[in-house]
Amino acid sequence: MATFEEEYKRIEKFVNFITKVFLLPKKIDLRGAENFAREGPEIIVGNHIGSYQDVSVLVRTRPRLTYFTANKEIFTREGASDLVLRHLHRHMGKFGGFVHLILNPFYAFMVTFVSTNIARIGTIPVDLQGSRRESVLRCQDYLRKGRAVVALQGRGRVQPKDPNPYVAEFRRGVSVMAYNLYKKGGISVPVTPLSIFGTHIMWGVPATVKVNVGRPLFVRDYCTGGEVSTVEAFRAALQQTVTGLFLESLSW
């Protein structure tokens, strides 16, 4: 049976091509790339405002093979197709249905391609409506093997009613992973924060996507003596850091 790395190598050229298409005609302004870990375990955490465009940006800017967490619906053809249609309606209203009809052959191909290959390359399914325990445990297993994992925070779109529409409130999952590996496995995993701005702008519209990568944070620096308080302190620090990176990028 082929490894995740071997499966990715098989489709890498097409992935590079399609991520270019998904970002047309946008440009990427990446700063702080030196903060990404080149080897060993790493968690990459950031805001999530641009659905598939966020993923495309990270695929094109990461220094090595990285494993993503993703909505479990994408792992089936029916679920992925429904997500595409909802995305188009969200951005284009009723016109989105028309666009979906016109471009249906392309969308049908992409839905089949993604749903067929996403599990083969090691993407980790997340139940957005239920428990995330299984995805957390799988992420921890990847990290023990020295892999890099991406855990973006948010629903893949701007939330106008939130206090910060571009940086959703962070969940505890990343902090829990870092804490468990440090306390129970003696592994101090670097958590690399980054902010993304510009991917919320609809596909086909020119824009500059700003990616601001900060220095890694470590849960050991936020230990309070108790698990719950340490996890919360680290979660808050990650959210605050990403918010700061985001605000900094607005001045570029």
DSSP H or E stretch at residue 1: none
Q: Is the pLDDT of residue 121 over 70?
A: yes
In a domain, 104, yes or no: no
Q: What type of residue sits at position 188?
A: S
Find the mean pLDDT for residues 147-171.
Answer: 95
pTM of the model: 0.89
Q: Is the pLDDT of residue 138 over 60?
A: yes
Tell me the average pLDDT of the chain.
90
In a domain, 81, yes or no: no
Q: What type of residue sits at position 167?
A: V
In a domain, 176, yes or no: yes
* 210/198 Cα distance (integer angstroms): 6
In a domain, 229, yes or no: yes
Find the mean pLDDT for residues 155-162.
Answer: 91
* 131 — pLDDT class (breaks 50, 70, 90): confident
Residue 113, pLDDT score: 87
Find the mean pLDDT for residues 223-243.
Answer: 97
Residue 103, pLDDT score: 57
Q: Which of 77-81, 90-94, 158-162, 205-209 has the lowest mean pLDDT?
A: 90-94
Residue 132, pLDDT score: 85
Find the mean pLDDT for residues 214-229.
Answer: 97
Q: What type of residue sits at position 39?
A: E
Q: Is the pLDDT of residue 70 over 60?
A: yes
The two counts, helices (H) then strands (E), for the chain are 8, 7
Domain that holds residue 220: 22-70+123-249
* 199/138 Cα distance (integer angstroms): 28
* 191 — pLDDT class (breaks 50, 70, 90): very high
* 45 — pLDDT class (breaks 50, 70, 90): very high
Residue 30, pLDDT score: 98
List Cβ neighbours of 102 (8 Å cut-off, separation of 6 or more): none
Q: Where residue 169 sits, what CATH number does that domain have?
A: 3.40.1130.10
In a domain, 95, yes or no: no
Find the mean pLDDT for residues 159-182.
Answer: 96
In a domain, 91, yes or no: no
Q: What is the pLDDT of residues 78-120, one digit of tens each?
A: 765 665 556 555 655 655 555 555 555 665 676 678 889 999 9
Domain count, the chain: 1
In a domain, 92, yes or no: no
Residue 101, pLDDT score: 54
List Cβ neighbours of 8 (8 Å cut-off, separation of 6 or more): 15, 65, 121, 122
Find the mean pLDDT for residues 10-38.
Answer: 96
Find the mean pLDDT for residues 139-146.
Answer: 98
Q: Is the pLDDT of residue 6 over 70?
A: yes
* 49/67 Cα distance (integer angstroms): 19
